[in-house]
Amino acid sequence: MSAASAAALPSAREWRVWVRRARRDHHARSLGDVLTDVYMLLWLFLVYGGALVASVHRHLQHPSGTPFAGPEPFWVGVSVLLVGSGLVWQALRAVGPLMATPAEQAWGISTPVSRRAWLSPRFVALVLSTSVGLALVAAAVSVLGLHHNEPGWAALAAGAYGAAGIASLVSAQTPGGWRWPRLAGGVLIGVGVLVAGTVVTAHYLGHPFPTPGIALAPALALTGVPLCILALAFAWRSLPRVDMAALSAGAEVATATMSATVWLDPSLLSGVLEVRRWRHVGTVRSRPFHGGPWRRTWVLLQAELRRQLRRPGAMAVWGGLALALYALTMVAPSAVGVGRLLLGYVAAGRLMSGLRTLSSSPGLRRALGGSGREQRIAHLVVPALGMVLWWAATAPAGGVQLDVLELLLIAGVVGAAFRAATRPPMSYGGFVLETPFGLIPMELVLQLARGPDLLGGVIVLRLLFGR
C-alpha cells in the first residue's frame, strides 16, 4: 500500500454525494415528513416576516411617529451597533467561522480531497447569508429614522461590511494569516463603550453631541464595496491554507451551542466556554489562603474573591451594564425603572460563576465539606456586595430612593440571580400539561423559569409601587 496517486482521488463534491447516498439509505423519512418540515418553516417565516413587514409598513405610513428624537439616540445606536458587531465578531471567531465537525475532520478533511473545494460551498453560504441578513436589518433600521432615511445605501453598506468581515475572519484562520481580525472584536467593543461613555458624559454635562450633518450610509457603502471585494479575494486565496487546527477549534463550541439549544440548557455551552477561557489563561500565581475566625467560610470567601479578580471580562461586563443604563435614560427614559432591574439581574449573574460551578457539581460540594447553606452563603457575599455597588453606581440614572421598596428591589434582583445560578442540572421527565394550545412540559418550563420568575415578581412590584 503506497501513497495514492492524485488522479484516483474523488472530488469534494463526489465525496459529499457518496455520504449523502449512504445516509439516505438509513433514514426512513417519507415525502410527507419532508413536506411537513418545509410547511413549518414556511409558516414561521410568513408569520414573523409578515409581522415585521406590517410593522415597518405602519411606520412608513406615519413617518412623523419616530420614537427617537435628538442626537443622543443616534449616538447610542452607533454604540449599540459597535458593541453588537464586536460581540458577533467574537462569537464568529469562537466557532471559526469556517469549521468542521469531528466526524468530518476524521473521515473527510483528513483525506487528500481538495481543501478549497471542501470549504468553498460553506464559505459562499456564510458570506451570502451574512451579507443578505445584515442588509435586511440595516434597511429596516434605516426606515426607523435614526438618521437619514436611506434604506438602499444602508443595506449596501451593511451587506458589504458583513461580507468583508466574514472574509477577513476566514483569512485570519490560516497559519500566519492576518492578525488584526483576532483583535478587531475587542476593538469594536472598546470603541462602542467609549462612544457610549463620551455621549453619556456629554449629556450629563449639558453639551450633547450633534448628529453628523452628512448622510453616512452612502459614504460607508462606497468604502465598503471595494473593501469587500478585496477581502473576498484574499479569503478565496486563503481557503486551501485553512488548516485542521483552525477547523477543529470552533467545532467544540458549535457542537456545544447546538446541544445547549436542543436540550434548552445554556450551561452546556457556558461550560465549554469556561474551559476554553481557562485553558487560554493556562497558569496563575498560586498563593496560600489566610485562616480566620470561621476558617472554612473565610477561605471560601477568599477563593471566591480571587476567582472574581481572575475574570476581568465579567467585571468589564458588570461596568458596561451600568453604562448601558445611563444610555437608556437618553433613549427611553420611561423604561429606566424596569431596565435597571433587568440590567442589574444580568450584572449580578456575571458575578455568580462560583455559585453556578458549585450547583452543577455534587462532587465539588462534597469535597468542600460543610453544609450546603454555608457554601452558598460564602459564594453569595461577593455578588451581593457587587450588586449593592452596581445599584449605587447607577443611582444618578435610576434615581436615589433609600426606602423599603428600594431595598426589596435590590434583594429581589440578587435573589433572582441567585435562583438562576443555583439551578440544578436539567431533568427532562416530569409532568406535562394538556392545554387547548397543545402539550406544555411544565417541569421543563419551571426549571427554565427559575430565576426569571422572581425577577418578574420584582418587576411587577416596581411597576405597582415605584415612583
Partner 1 sequence: MLDDIGFSLPAGQVLVVLGPNGAGKTTLLRCIVGADRPDAGEVLLEGRPLDETDPDVRAAMAVTLDDMDFFPDLSVVEHLELLAYAHGGDPAWVQEVVTELGLESARDQLPATLSSGQRRRLALASCFVRPRKLLVLDEPEQRLDVRGREWLAQRLLTEKAAGTAVLMASHDPELIDKVADARLVIGEP
Number of residues that bind partner 1 (CB under 8 A): 38
Residue type, 276: R
4 touching partner 1, by CB under 8 A: yes
243 touching partner 1, by CB under 8 A: yes
Closest to partner 1 by CB, 10 vs 266, is 10
Out of 59, 122, 241, 276, which residue is the one contacting partner 1 (CB under 8 A)? 241
Helix (H) or strand (E) holding 441: strand 438-441
10 touching partner 1, by CB under 8 A: yes
Residues 334-353 interacting with partner 1 (rule: CB under 8 A): none
Out of 6, 400, 404, 439, which residue is the one contacting partner 1 (CB under 8 A)? 6
Would you call 16 exposed, middle or buried from its count of C-beta atoms within 10 A (0-12, 13-18, 19+)?
A: middle
Smallest distance, partner 1 to C-beta of residue 114, A: 7
Out of 71, 152, 190, 240, which residue is the one contacting partner 1 (CB under 8 A)? 240
Query: Under a CB-based contact definition with an 8 Å cutoff, are residues 59 and 143 in contact?
Result: yes
Smallest distance, partner 1 to C-beta of residue 177, A: 11
Smallest distance, partner 1 to C-beta of residue 451, A: 34
DSSP string for 182-221: HHHHHHHHHHHHHHHHHHHHHHHTT-PPPPPSS-HHHHHH
Smallest distance, partner 1 to C-beta of residue 10, A: 6
Smallest distance, partner 1 to C-beta of residue 258, A: 13
What are the phi and psi torsion angles at 130 (to 5°)? -65, -50
Residue 269 and residue 108: Cα distance in Å, rounded?
26
Assess whether the previous peptide bond of 312 is cis (omega < 30° from 0): no
Closest to partner 1 by CB, 208 vs 240, is 240
Out of 90, 149, 211, 248, which residue is the one contacting partner 1 (CB under 8 A)? 248
Residue 228 and residue 165: Cα distance in Å, rounded?
8
9 touching partner 1, by CB under 8 A: yes
Fill in the per-residue mask, 140 to 179: x = in contact with partner 1 (CB under 8 A), - = not in contact: -----------------------------------x----
Helix (H) or strand (E) holding 435: strand 432-435
- For 291, the grid coordinates are 485562616
* 136: Cβ contacts below 8 Å, ≥ 6 apart: 155
33 touching partner 1, by CB under 8 A: no
Residues 89-128 interacting with partner 1 (rule: CB under 8 A): 101-103, 105-108, 110-115
Fill in the per-residue mask, 209 to 228: x = in contact with partner 1 (CB under 8 A), - = not in contact: --------------------
Smallest distance, partner 1 to C-beta of residue 270, A: 22
Closest to partner 1 by CB, 251 vs 301, is 251
Euclidean distance between the first and the last CA atom of the chain, given in angstroms as a whole number: 82
8 touching partner 1, by CB under 8 A: yes
Fill in the per-residue mask, 285 to 324: x = in contact with partner 1 (CB under 8 A), - = not in contact: ----------------------------------------
Smallest distance, partner 1 to C-beta of residue 467, A: 58
- For 147, the grid coordinates are 438618521
Contacts by residues 150-154 (CB-CB < 8 Å, ≥ 24 positions apart)? 150/215, 150/217, 150/218, 153/215, 153/217, 153/218, 153/220, 153/221, 154/217, 154/221
Smallest distance, partner 1 to C-beta of residue 466, A: 53
SS3 percent helix, strand, coil of the chain, rounded to 5, is: 75, 0, 25
Residue 41 and residue 315: Cα distance in Å, rounded?
40
Residue type, 195: V
Interacting residues toward partner 1 by CB under 8 A: 1-10, 15, 18-19, 22-23, 26-27, 101-103, 105-108, 110-115, 175, 240-245, 248
